Every structure is written in C-alpha cells, then in structure tokens.
Amino acid sequence: MNRVLLRGARVITMAPHRPDAERADILIDGGTITAVGQGLDATGAEVVDVTGRVIMPGLVNAHLHTWQSALRGVGTDWTLADYLGRMHGAVARHYRPEDMRIGTLAGALDQLDRGTTTLGDWCHNTPTPEHTDAAIEGLTASGIRGVFLHGTPYSAPDATHPVGELDRLPDGPLLTLGMAVRGPQLSTPDTAVADFRAAAERGLVVSMHQSGGEPGPGWAAVRDAGLLSPRTNVVHGAGLTEDWLKTLVDAGATFTSTPENELGQGHGFPVTGHLLRLGSAPSLGTDTDAITPADVLSAARIALAHQRGHDHDDHRRANGSFSLTTTITAKQALAWATVEGARALGLADRVGRLEPDMQADLVVIDAPAPNPVAAALHATAGDIEAVMIAGRWRKRGHALLDVDLGAVRAQLHESADHLIPHLTG
C-alpha cells in the first residue's frame, strides 16, 4: 500500500495532551498512521493537499441494527411497543437472506457517506446460518470497519446463545466478532451468566439492551460471577439505578446511548449525565433506520443539548438562573462519537484517535473552519469530502468509491417492497 501524506489541514487528533485542533500533516504507510506533525518528510509518498479542510478520526456508530435499513422511516411515529411488535413480532420472520445482505450493505454504505468508519452492527435477526452469512457478506462488501455483534431472534429467557453458530463465523482485517445477547434484563440469571462466560472465554465484547424497566435479577448473578469487565457493553442503560451504574463503571463496562431513539420511543432518558458524574462517558449509536436517521453526529448533538438542558435546569433550581458556564464541551461530544465508540467496541488500541501506530481511519471535512471542532460536530454528509479506512479511500470528492449505487438502490427497493406488506403481521 502506498505512502500518503495529507498536508495542510486543521487536524483534530482526539489524542490526549494535544490541542483541540492543530495545523498538522498526517503520514500514512501501509494503512497505519506513522506520524502527525508539521514539516513531515514526503519522500516516496503521494502528497494530498487538504488545505482549508478539517480532518478528524473516523466516526464510530457503536449500535445500529443495520439489517433494518430497507425499512427506513417506517416507524417514525412508533413507540417502543410498536417497534417490538411490528418489527420483531411481524416482519422479521419474513426476512430472506438477501434482505439481510442488501439491508446491511446499504446501511453500511450510508454510514460511510456520513463519515462513520467503524460500525457496531448489532444483528439479531439470524434465524438460519444463511441469514447470518448474508449479513456478514453485506457488511464486508461495504468496506467499512465492522464489529459484527452476533445476536438471535427473541426467544425464551432460558435459551443460551448459540455459541456453535458464533464459533464458525470468520473475522478479517476489517471484521471483528462480538456477542449481542438478550442480557440480564431479558434472560434468566443462569442464562445471563452462561452467555457472559461464553463471551469471556472467547475474549469478545458482549453487548446487551437495558431499558424500559428496573434491572432484572440476572445482573446480580453476572456481577457475583465476576463477569463484568471492560468488554461488557450496555446499550441504553435506562432503568439502571445509581448503584448499578457505579458498579458497572467501576468494572470498566461501557455504555452506548442512542439518544434520539431513547427520547422518542420510550426507552428512558439518556444516562449521559449519570456517567459523567461517575467519571465515565457514553459512546453513541443510532439504533435503527426504521425509527431515526442513522447519523452519529446528530446523535452527538442531541446528547450534548439534552444534557446541557438538564444541567441548566439543575443550576436554575439551585441558583435561580441558568448556568453561566458550559458544563459539557463540543470536544467531549466528539469524543463520544470517536474515542468512546472505539472503547465500547473493544478497538481503542486501533481507532478513535489520530496518532502514530493507529489505523488510518479518518474523515476529511470540507467546511469553513474558524472553529474546527464546531465544523466537525456540525458536519452533515454533504460536508464529508472524503473517508479513509486503513489507508484506503472509501469516499473522495464527496462521492463513495468502488460501489454501484444504482444497483444497491434497486435491490434495496425490491427488499422494501417484499417486507413492507408484512409489517402488520
């Protein structure tokens, strides 16, 4: 792979002990960042002039049910009960392997277009091996860095995860495996312990939903078995008590908030403020295209504004006026969409920051940049000029590369035409 030198941009490295943004060049060799700084030696490198642009780490969408992409927007007015009944109770069982493939491919390409370079694909519609294989085929064909979180359709609370099916799945340079389990809220204690133990034995991230109710007895069983760890990923987290949040944070567990979906559907309020008070922070996801747009930067802005609003209200009740200082910065919100997402998916040693020895996963933003952090946080898909993953351009000149979008659209429409009649049973 050729050496590439990106020259002239304002760079947001997200690396500790570096400025929020700086003028710097980035040298890439073999898919890895080798240097970040000024005046780098360009010998043997293709020099790309990115003057006037902002470069930041690739975004991380830590939680997306990508298989639902063909049904984009159908549930905009659905509550959580509507979603569970119509998506999982009705249409899910009518998915063909081809629907899984094209939905996952289209959803991942949409993420690339929006600047996401790493996707936590929480795939829980896998009734047959063929469905699973088709989803992985779509994910890998997109060129995105994917963490395929293998799940199962909803079943009895005492049904353990089918680890034999998990163990046959491949990984690769851009594909990592994880487990998407029902978790302590929806499983019996023995089942929750068995699933957590299976993930620990394989060194995999184990991810689960928790929302819409008090924590179930499975949580205590998992805690008492010593299975909470930095590879524990809790999606939403609503309903967990302060004591449970502290227990999980102390164990190094990560949290993924999908704020627009959580606020709109009835999961509960995002746990952002609770985590910040405990010295932690959320990662971000967008959950499902069927309900909300799959835009991680929108999720970051919603999470930031929502928590700032709570902070202003708290200050007003205590002092009679809104806060005169900002309680959370835009840079923190960017960290939720980069650094924290990488941590949640077990990839903090590879992505989420721009510094030597990290993977060359980055986004080039074409927007006025008197404040580069604001330009990054406020960027839309149209502002994303280029996306690079492992040193390879996946989007450049505001267009996705190496994909026949017309064919993808046609296949996605065919899938939607097949699925939509089944939404009501």
3-state secondary structure of 2: coil
Structural domain harbouring 289 = 59-339
Q: Is residue 30 part of a domain?
A: yes
**pLDDT at residue 322, as a whole number:** 85
**pLDDT at residue 140, as a whole number:** 97
Q: Is residue 250 part of a domain?
A: yes
Of the two residues 242 and 425, the one the predictor is more confident about is 242
147 pLDDT above the threshold of 70: yes
Contact yes or no for 239/215 (Cβ under 8 A): yes
Q: What are the pLDDT digits (tens) for 299-341?
A: 999 999 999 999 999 888 888 888 888 899 999 999 999 999 9
Q: Are residues 122 and 237 in the same domain?
A: yes
Q: Are residues 141 and 253 in the same domain?
A: yes
Contact yes or no for 66/107 (Cβ under 8 A): yes
**pLDDT at residue 324, as a whole number:** 83
Q: Are residues 41 and 161 in the same domain?
A: no
Q: Are residues 123 and 154 in the same domain?
A: yes
What is the pLDDT of the chain when averaged over all its residues?
95
> Looking at residues 183-187, what average pLDDT do you find?
93
d(CA 5, CA 33): 10
Q: Are residues 308 and 333 in the same domain?
A: yes
Of the two residues 174 and 155, the one the predictor is more confident about is 174
1 pLDDT above the threshold of 80: no
Q: Are residues 302 and 383 in the same domain?
A: no
Q: What are the pLDDT digits (tens) for 391-420?
A: 999 999 999 999 999 999 999 999 999 999
Number of domains in the chain: 2
d(CA 387, CA 391): 10
214: pLDDT confidence band, cut at 50, 70 and 90? confident
> Looking at residues 61-66, what average pLDDT do you find?
98
3-state secondary structure of 340: helix
> What's the start-to-end Cα distance of the chain, in Å?
50
> Looking at residues 42-61, what average pLDDT do you find?
96
Q: Select from 345, 267, 296 the least CA-distant residue to 107.
A: 296
CATH of the domain at 52: 2.30.40.10
DSSP assignment of 45-97 equals EEEEE-TT-EEEEPEEEEEE-GGGGGGTTTTTT--HHHHIIIIIIIIGGG--H
273 pLDDT above the threshold of 70: yes
Q: Is residue 418 part of a domain?
A: no
Q: Are residues 189 and 260 in the same domain?
A: yes
**Cα→Cα distances 263→65, 275, 337, Å:** 18, 17, 18
425 pLDDT above the threshold of 70: no
- Strands 362-365 and 384-389, sheet pairing: antiparallel
388: pLDDT confidence band, cut at 50, 70 and 90? very high
CB atoms within 10 A of CB 210: 26
357: pLDDT confidence band, cut at 50, 70 and 90? very high
Contact yes or no for 13/352 (Cβ under 8 A): no
Contact yes or no for 150/366 (Cβ under 8 A): no
Q: Is residue 199 part of a domain?
A: yes
154: pLDDT confidence band, cut at 50, 70 and 90? confident
Q: Which residues contact 84 (CB under 8 A, 6 or more apart)?
A: none
**pLDDT at residue 196, as a whole number:** 98
Q: What are the pLDDT digits (tens) for 82-111?
A: 999 999 999 999 999 999 999 999 999 999
Q: Are residues 122 and 234 in the same domain?
A: yes
Phi and psi for 155 in degrees, rounded to 5? -150, -170
Q: Is residue 424 part of a domain?
A: no
Q: Are residues 210 and 308 in the same domain?
A: yes
d(CA 61, CA 257): 10
CATH of the domain at 118: 3.20.20.140
3-state secondary structure of 402: coil
Q: What are the pLDDT digits (tens) for 230-244?
A: 999 999 999 899 999
- Strands 362-365 and 54-57, sheet pairing: antiparallel
Q: Is residue 419 part of a domain?
A: no
Q: Is residue 66 part of a domain?
A: yes
Q: Are residues 256 and 379 in the same domain?
A: no
Q: Is residue 206 part of a domain?
A: yes
29: pLDDT confidence band, cut at 50, 70 and 90? very high
3-state secondary structure of 233: strand
Question: How large a percentage of the chain has pLDDT more than 70?
Answer: 100
Q: Are residues 263 and 372 in the same domain?
A: no
Dmax (CA) of the chain = 63
Q: What are the pLDDT digits (tens) for 249-272?
A: 999 999 999 999 999 988 889 999
Query: Of 291, 306, 339, which residue sits at a domain end?
Result: 339
Q: Are residues 11 and 158 in the same domain?
A: no
Q: What are the pLDDT digits (tens) for 107-125?
A: 999 999 999 999 999 999 9
d(CA 24, CA 85): 51
Query: Of 339, 361, 379, which residue sits at a domain end?
Result: 339
